[in-house]
Structure 1
Amino acid sequence: MTTRYGMTVPLGSAPLHAQRRQIEELVDLGYTDVWSAEADGVDGFTPLALASVWAPSLRLGTAIIPAFTRGPATLAQSVAGLSQAAPGRFVLGLGTSSNVIVEGWNGIAFEEPYKRMRDTLRFLRAALAGEKVTEVYDTFSVRGFRLRSLPEGEVPILVAALREGMLNLAGREADGAIVNWLSADDVARVAPIVRAHGADKEIVARIFVAPSEDTDAVRGAARFAIAAYVNVPVYKAFHQWLGRGDRLGACWAAWEAGDREAALAAIPDSVVDELVVHGSPEACRAHIQRYVDNGVTTPALAVLPLAADIDLGRAVADLAPR
């Protein structure tokens, strides 16, 4: 399908120490990458540190670490630590996250996200190269910081991007983009914006997959996940830009009115089918291939247990590249 093929970790709800066998099996199944996230579960670095030892051939990536929730120097130290644990195998995926996570959960003002992303990216490039950084950026300042323990080699940095401003930043100043909650057809719109700055830019897509033919159950459960995202301001603007305003307008109106049940019911089946890959394993792999055909270089799958017949271990095996 592609030279890279990733799975989201942690794998399910088992504690991290109990996931070694599952991580090791990913290699035998043909997966090349593991990608972590950082929202309301464990942090984004620890699962990758464990995977670096348990499965030394896997590439490790974050999708994503928020730019707001760590100080610049602490973030640089975390990147250096993991890159030393897995030399040449770590990719930093960095994003602004959202007002829910940054403000609501961490008590940090979610202000000027584009500038914060740009400033953090520029700081990390300098710090990870061993420069002594004294700089007043638009969104923070650093005085006299030098990273004493440097990565072994350059660490690729990918920017989580939704609309044109961040997509252009990902292409212009980073090594590529991470995209999220979009359809295979949407990739054909966003990928060229990134690749206008270089044909070699990597595009990682977090693809949510529910390998089940219980369509009603999957669609019903998927609406909860979709509603939780498309009603966040940055994702609402993203899907308006993608042209889903007409189909999601009723959902947004009901959500703003406080009627969560009506908001869920207003999400059309067509939107669910575009944003969540479901069906038989063969149908799911064919759908994932459409993302690749439209410009994704690395699918990063996330299995969603949206139906009773979805078993995580079997799903990971069934979705493995052929």
Structure 2
Amino acid sequence: MNEATASLKESLGRYGVWSVQLRSGSAAGGTERSEAAAELESLGFGAVWLGGNTSAADAAPLIEATSRIVVGTSIQSIWEHEPAATAASFAELEVAHPGRFLLGLGVSHGPRVEGYNRPYSRMVDYLDALDRAGLRSGHRVLAALGPKMLELSRDRAAGAIPYLVTPEHTAQARERLGEGPLLAPEFKVVLSSDPATARATARAYLARYLSLPNYTRNFLNLGFTDADVADGGSDRLIDAVFAWGDENTIRTRIDAFLAAGADHVALQVVEDDMTVIPHEAWRRLAPLLT
């Protein structure tokens, strides 16, 4: 492991929060988002991962409102942001707040991008352009699921930030990455001990992802079946990609990712209303992670 990656892992710590509510343009106002980031820092989380197609512009207000926490994009779509502009905005933040912004890049999904083609080659080209613009590999991570993209995150970035995965995927990813690169999977949490309630909340949220081939293909590669990815997801799939239950159960589920080789777990609280910042849920989660 090189010194830069070791420093990055130390900065991120074991646990972060993945949130769509803290990006610019969400239902929450700018002051509320900044105050929420400051509270996450005080609760001991090491990172905020901004969900959806986000950029340095989304990260900057949160970085300015805090003193330590790392803010990352999860992800910035390579189809919607030019490499030169990406490098310039990164450099501006890096000068003002060294080591506080981590660029997470992804290829998005065919159904969401007009003219989607050759995503792996497009990512290689994008990384080449970032290299030419001076944005070094140690400052970027890739949303990698399959073997080729994981290898690219190993060879051309600081590591991988897989989304919507299981500990089994994490173990496979760690084997492909080796020990050095960062591996920071996202994991969804529903803070309910009632099976019917928890699964209903999870299923309603998961349904949007089951129309995206990248995710369904990854589930099938992990041993799930066509029946598991139909109709919003089977109980088996829900229980694999969401943690729900009492505090001890949720902590055990999170620990499984670390045992499988994750350096850091990005925790996404899933509730029925995903437009509201889940302050209370984050406060409940924080003591489980000490």
Deviations 1:233-290 (A, max 9, x none): 22222122222135436x1xxxxxxxxxxx23xx221110101111123321221111
Q: CA–CA distance in 2 between the matches of 1:86 and 1:24?
A: 15
Q: Which residue of the partner structure matches residue 120 of structure 2?
A: 114
Q: After the TM superposition, which of the residue ranges 9-18 and 59-68 deviates more from structure 2?
A: 9-18
2:113 is equivalent to residue 102 of structure 1: yes
Please tell me whether the aligned partners of residues 189 and 270 of structure 2 are also in contact (alpha carbons under 8 angstroms): yes
* 3-state SS of paired residue (2:145): coil
After TM superposition, give the deviation of residue 217 of structure 1 in Å.
1.6
Which structure has the bigger radius of gyration? 1
Shift of 1:163: 0.8
Identity %: 28
Q: Provide structure 2 residue ranges, at least 5 long, that are not aligned to the other structure.
A: 1-11
> Within 1, Cα distance between the matches of 2:66 and 2:27?
20
Q: Residue 39 of structure 2 corresponds to which residue in structure 1? A: 25
Matching residue's letter, 1:192: E
Residue type at the aligned position of 1:205: P
Output the TM-score relative to the length of structure 2. Answer: 0.86
Is 2:168 the counterpart of 1:128? no
Give 1:161 deviation, angstroms. 0.6
Give the counterpart letter for 1:233 in structure 2.
P
Contact 1:69 1:102 in 2 (8 A): no
Question: Which of 7, 32, 51 lines up with 2:17 in the alignment?
Answer: 7
CA contact (8 A) 1:161 1:177 kept: yes
Q: Does 1:67 align with 2:73?
A: no
Alpha-carbon distance, 1:299 to partner: 0.9
Instruction: Measure the CA separation in 2 of the matches of 1:154 and 1:84.
Output: 17
Letter in 1 for 2:237: V
Tell me whether 10-19 or 24-33 shows the greater mean CA deviation.
10-19
Letter of the structure 1 residue corresponding to residue 40 of structure 2: L
TM-score, normalization: structure 1? Answer: 0.78
In 1, Cα distance between the equivalents of 2:220 and 2:214? 10
Q: Which residue, 244, 248, 269 being the options, matches 1:303?
A: 269
1:228 maps to which of 202, 205, 208: 208
- Contact kept, 8 Å, 1:157 with 1:174, in 2: the verdict is yes
Does 1:288 pair with 2:254?
A: yes
Map of 2:235 onto structure 1: 269
SS at match of 2:155: helix
What residue number does 1:132 align with? none
What is the distance in 2 between the residues matched to 1:292 and 1:247? 29
Q: Which residue of 2 aligns with 1:106?
A: none
Tell me if structure 1 keeps the 8 A contact 2:28–2:277: no
1:77: how far off?
A: 2.0
- Residues 15 and 265 of structure 2 are in contact (CA less than 8 Å); yes or no, is this contact kept in structure 1? yes
Residues 1:202 and 2:188 aligned together: no
Separation in 2, partners of 1:311, 1:281: 20
| Count, aligned residues | 272
- Residues 313 and 282 of structure 1: is their aligned pair in 2 closer, same or farther, counting only changes over 3 Å? farther
Q: After the TM superposition, which segments of 4 or more aligned residues of structure 1 sit over 6 Å from their partners? A: none
Change (3 A) 1:222 1:214: same
Query: Runs of 5+ in structure 1 lacking a partner?
Result: 104-108, 130-152, 252-262
Work out which of the residue numbers 102, 108, 113 in structure 2 matches 1:91.
Answer: 102
